[in-house]
Structure 1
């Protein structure tokens, strides 16, 4: 994944640009951090904030960096709130808060076949839902938590038992009802013929 600052573009040139919401100090600090050997996750956070600061839209940022809409929205919001300096305070891999958008997407996924999303298998598992949503939202949660969320929504990844419908043998067979109370005629019984007449 290429970074938005090409090799020919200097940090100094970028530094001179007027930003939308980062202070000059914040911009310089972020640019300086980009020059260090950062983990890709941290680098993406900084780049999101810097791109937003020069006026790139959320969708443009996602396309340039290759991040999820949720991730871009979160770090743009942090920068707008004046908290750009907190880019390294959130440990990588820690789950973010599961929000309504996440839950709506989970409901949508489990209501459809994984094949609709390019997978080869037919039924979702909590593990695959977790992996898929982690890619989309950059939120890592356990399979167990996925199952808890599904349960709260009245959903499940478990297949509904597809027991075959009752056989139609009753149309052809008769039912015998014995009179167990009768002392006088122990062998007496009624036969009911349930055969349907063809019209």
Structure 2
């Protein structure tokens, strides 16, 4: 047997909150704030947390978290995300100028047994040269942002087959 839903008043919501939440839905510009306000409005109208979560696509614990936060502050700003710093930048000390500088000379000048740079080799070289670890994926992304295009080296020279006219003639005979 399912438990009966708590009344909105038992959750701390009033008719003023319903009015405030309806107004917030009309004015919401951020989809997350809209979802949260919609979930809380459903709870304020008597739906269970699980039903509100199902309708809005949020999880039940998430609806409970935003409900608790809203009831504590009674302001729509409570439904907004707190600003975050984001992912810390990787290999800050390696600049585009340094990447171009290293690309300007072949790896053989640095004692490597190859005459072309690969992303993995360049990443290792930059890490050794500047003492700052850099992942090959990060380096590839940075080089793309710099407008550089990376092509895999071709180890076999592309030449026309010596008997190309004869091959084509065999194919076209019908």
Q: TM-score, normalised by structure 1?
A: 0.33
Say which structure is richer in strand: 1
More helix by share: 2
